[in-house]
Amino acid sequence: MGDLVGTVVTAAGVFAGTNVDDLIVLTVLFLSARAAARPRPWHIWAGQYAGIGVLVAVSAVAALGLSIVPDRWVGLLGLVPFALGVKGLVAAIRARGDDDPPAPAVATGAVSVAGITIANGADNISVYTPLFRTIGPGGSLLTVAVFAVGVALWCLAGSWLGSHRTVIAVVRRFGHWIVPGVFILIGVVIVVESGVLGRLF
């Protein structure tokens, strides 16, 4: 019983610790959903589950001694949110002066949400891999179940944080600049913190 509780507590701590930044992304996505109806809330939920699922699957495979993506190149995934942000920013610049600014959405479906989740959580693999390797199959399955509950709690928290009327009003007015800017910043942080630029140059 003690091992069971310990595994659950550890899994919850690992999920929260590695996905704090994801809560910011989810809040922005839910704000975008309320201000512009894109992406739809179910896209965010599905994309978040799919993205975390991919990260867990890659970590599980890596725990078996197989490497799908070399750790030193994982940071390049930061180019996904960066590219989506640039695309949104270009659309905002082109629409300057229009009475009806473009919707503040950089992710418009479950696939793009999943891509952002994977890119933003790419560094999680380095934490999940040794965890799965040390706790065995039973502990790993329980950890995955805790992660699944964690994703639901994160989505609910992001939805709540993104439900304030004042913030939604600001996003409706300035979101076509704010949302792409946030995703560009996320992409830059992922790439810079991974140190991948130093390996390229």
Domain membership of residue 200 (yes or no) is no
pLDDT at 172: 64
| Strand locations in the chain (E) | none
pLDDT at 71 (0 to 100): 59
Q: In this structure, is residue 199 part of a structural domain? A: no
Q: What pTM was estimated for this model as a whole?
A: 0.70
Q: Which tokens belong to 78?
A: 């930061």
In the chain, how many domains are there? Answer: 1
Cα separation, 178 vs 147, whole angstroms = 30
Between CA 85 and CA 185 the distance in angstroms is 8
| pLDDT digits (tens), the chain, 201 positions | 667 888 898 899 889 888 877 888 888 888 888 877 778 899 999 999 999 999 999 888 888 876 555 656 666 767 777 887 788 788 778 877 665 555 555 677 899 899 888 887 777 887 888 788 878 888 889 999 999 999 999 999 989 888 877 766 666 677 667 777 877 887 787 677 667 677 666
The reply to whether 170 falls in a domain is yes
Does residue 123 fall inside a structural domain?
Answer: yes
- Calculate the alpha carbon distances from 183 to 13, 25, 111 in Å: 26, 8, 16
Give the orientation angle of helix 79-94 with respect to helix 110-120, to 10 degrees: 130
Does residue 91 fall inside a structural domain? yes
Q: How far is CA 70 from CA 120, 123, 128, in A?
A: 17, 12, 15
Please check whether residue 164 lies inside any domain of the structure.
yes
Distance of CA 26 to the CA centre of its chain: 7
Domain limits for position 126: 2-194
The reply to whether 201 falls in a domain is no
Task: Report yes or no on 180 lying in a domain.
Answer: yes
Using an 8 Å Cβ cutoff, are 146 and 138 in contact?
no
